[in-house]
């Protein structure tokens, strides 16, 4: 229930955003220059580790890479690139002389999204999708420059106006990082946590305020050692209890 309420709140916040910065809905954690995802044997990601080795919770189901190209009625190409569960994400380039558009389907076809420029960096604006159908990537301002972008299945159409760079821009939903702009969004987990790239070369973990502060998680080896230690403590306690019971039983027999 808390997760559903959170996603609804995020969608409403993005749809109602104005040109001024909204109240922060993400906290930021500097991961340093570079990050690594930590996954279990089944491919389920459970943490992200920063350059300093510290790991933080990041719960993400596997994403399938797909490569499907088709064409719209006007002849413009569209591409499907990623799938998570029943959700697919892609983009298409229109024949506007300047702008293309990021679009994604949810079963009924494509709908509106972010600004991109055909042939410009990045070649694909789509970076990742989670099991909720939320998408992150890179978009551009009309006047140039790139920003970390987010879109939700309930807030896709912005009519390709200047408002899109307000509604989809993740910089408008975090407390300002002095001198730093989030220029790309790289990953999003199933609870809405996002990994974004900063203009200083560092990566940042964005954690929804509704989930609380970013929570460190132990390395697998550390977790295993803690688990083994806990098991030994339990076994020792059982052994002591049995030994004590056995001794008392022997005393009772001797008295008889």
pTM: 0.74
Length of the chain: 256
Phi then psi for residue 231, to 5 deg, are: -65, -40
User: What is the reported pLDDT for 226?
Assistant: 40
For tokens 């509604």, the residue is 167
For residue 254, pLDDT over 80 is answered with: no
Is the bond preceding 26 in cis, omega lying within 30 degrees of 0?
Answer: no
Mean pLDDT of 44-50: 95
Pairing of the two strands 45-50 and 35-39: antiparallel
Which of 196, 84, 78, 204 is closest to 134 using CA atoms? 84
Mean pLDDT of 124-137: 88
For tokens 């200083």, the residue is 200
- Which DSSP category does 104 fall into? -
Question: Are 203 and 35 within 8 A, CB to CB?
Answer: yes
User: What is the reported pLDDT for 252?
Assistant: 47
CB atoms within 10 A of CB 120: 11
For tokens 């055909």, the residue is 118
111 band by pLDDT with thresholds 50, 70 and 90: low
Q: What is the three-state SS of 113-172?
A: CCEECCCCCCCCCEEEECCCCCEEEEEECCCCCEEEEEECCCCCCCCCCCCHHHHCEHHH
What are the tens digits of pLDDT across the range 29-38? 999 999 999 9
CA–CA distance, 52 with 34 (Å, rounded to integer):
9
Question: Are 173 and 25 within 8 A, CB to CB?
Answer: yes
Burial annotation 161-183 (CB, 10 A radius, 16+ → b, else e)? eeebbbbbbbbbbbeebeebbbb
Give residue limits of the domains in the chain: 2-211, 218-256
Which of 145, 208, 214 is closest to 13 using CA atoms? 208
Q: Mean pLDDT, the chain, as a whole number?
A: 75
């Amino acid at each position: 229930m808390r997760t559903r309420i959170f996603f609804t709140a995020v969608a409403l916040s993005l749809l109602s955003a104005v040109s001024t910065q909204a109240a922060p809905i993400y906290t930021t954690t500097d991961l340093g220059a570079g990050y690594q995802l930590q996954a279990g044997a089944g491919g389920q990601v459970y943490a992200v580790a920063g350059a300093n080795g510290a790991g933080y919770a990041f719960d993400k189901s596997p994403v399938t890479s797909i490569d499907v190209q088709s064409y719209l009625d006007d002849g413009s190409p569209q591409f499907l690139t990623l799938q998570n569960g029943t959700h697919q994400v892609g983009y298409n380039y229109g024949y506007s002389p300047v702008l293309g558009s990021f679009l994604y389907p949810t079963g009924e076809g494509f709908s509106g999204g972010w600004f991109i420029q055909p042939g410009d960096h990045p070649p694909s604006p789509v970076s990742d999708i989670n099991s909720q159908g939320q998408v992150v990537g890179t978009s551009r301002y009309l006047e140039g420059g790139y920003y970390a972008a987010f879109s939700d299945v309930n807030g896709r159409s912005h009519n390709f106006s200047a408002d899109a760079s307000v509604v989809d821009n993740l910089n408008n939903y975090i407390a300002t990082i002095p001198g730093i702009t989030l220029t790309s969004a790289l990953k999003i987990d199933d609870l809405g946590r996002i990994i974004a790239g900063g203009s200083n070369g560092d990566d940042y973990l964005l954690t929804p305020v509704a989930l609380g502060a970013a929570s460190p998680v132990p390395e697998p080896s550390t977790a295993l050692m803690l688990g083994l230690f806990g098991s030994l403590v339990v076994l020792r306690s059982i052994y002591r209890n049995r030994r004590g019971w056995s001794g008392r039983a022997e005393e009772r027999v001797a008295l008889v």
